[in-house]
Amino acid sequence: MADISLKDRVAIITGAGGGLGKSHALELARRGAKVVVNDLGAAIDGTGGSASAAEEVANHINASGGEAIADGANVTKADDVAAMLKAAMDKWGRVDILINNAGILRDKTFHKMTLADFKAVIDVHLIGSATCTHAVWPIMRERNYGRVVFTASPSGLHGIFGQANYGAAKAGMIGLMNALHLEGAKYDIRVNIVSPSARTRMTEDLGAPEPVLEMLTPEAITAAAVFLVSDDAPSRQIISCAGGGYATAHMVETGGAYLRPDKQTADEIAAHWDRISDKSDIKFYEDSNGPIANFIGKAQGRDG
């Protein structure tokens, strides 16, 4: 099998001054992509800012024979993102790949969390990803080519204590991906999610043992990201990955049950709960028509 080549592709990677984003930037550049290394240079909680992290990564790529420019756009600010896009277009005339990776943490249990902290995390992870994607979308439509990757988390898929804001932002990406997959299909814009667990400055304080942290390399996550931005990438996939393990995650429903009109009450739902929640007949649907068709079919068959 031939190696995946990204020769002459132009990629924007947010949060690329360190951690996963830096690993993505270096590997995309190694495979021939021209890279916009975006990083606000803020602290983990989103405060402060410095251009040095993005510049260091871009300089390393250029010194290694690749092509990169550094950018300090705040992904939550549309004007900043527009200027970042203009810089890429002025230099290379196209954008083929967007990896939404920028993020912050403000972990607290929900009853101790301020709404300001809740909103700040949503703004960077979800709104920031949407802002960057909205900016590149017209270019990708016009070129009939695009690869967009959102960076989610097990926190969004399964929940992590103390991360109501982070989990909500990451889960929101699933709905965004689903819609953009449908809207981008005719333009060969493929939209996916990587849901990583890796050792970065955002995870080192979570208390995992050192041998486990040593396994959780950013490079293992980058392998999934590169696959998802390649020419032959799938679309509407969530790759869950950690320490060299890879799986796809899916939103599914049980087969459920149909209740006749005279039984469509809370009491009957309670009486039929074991059947409604039975996981032995799990179904995956390509779009929202699936569950509707399932229920209509049950109604027509008088199931229940």
Residues labelled catalytic: 166
DSSP 113-127: --HHHHHHHHIIIII
d(CA 278, CA 255): 8
DSSP 171-205: HHHHHHHHHHHHHHGGGTEEEEEEEEE--STTTGG
Q: Which of 96, 250, 235 is nearest to 158 (CA)?
A: 250
Provide the H-helix boundaries in 93-146: 115-122, 128-143
What's the residue count for the chain? 304
DSSP SS3 for 73: coil
Report, in this order, helix, strand and coil percent for the chain, each rounded to 5: 45, 15, 35
Match 């959780």 to its residue by tokens. Answer: 216
Helices and strands, number each (H, E), in the chain? 12, 10
Q: Which of 16, 14, 20, 17 is nearest to 199 (CA)?
A: 20
Please enumerate in sequence order all residues whose Cβ is within 8 A of that of 73, keeping only pairs 6 or more positions apart, or say none: 14, 38, 40, 80, 81, 83, 84
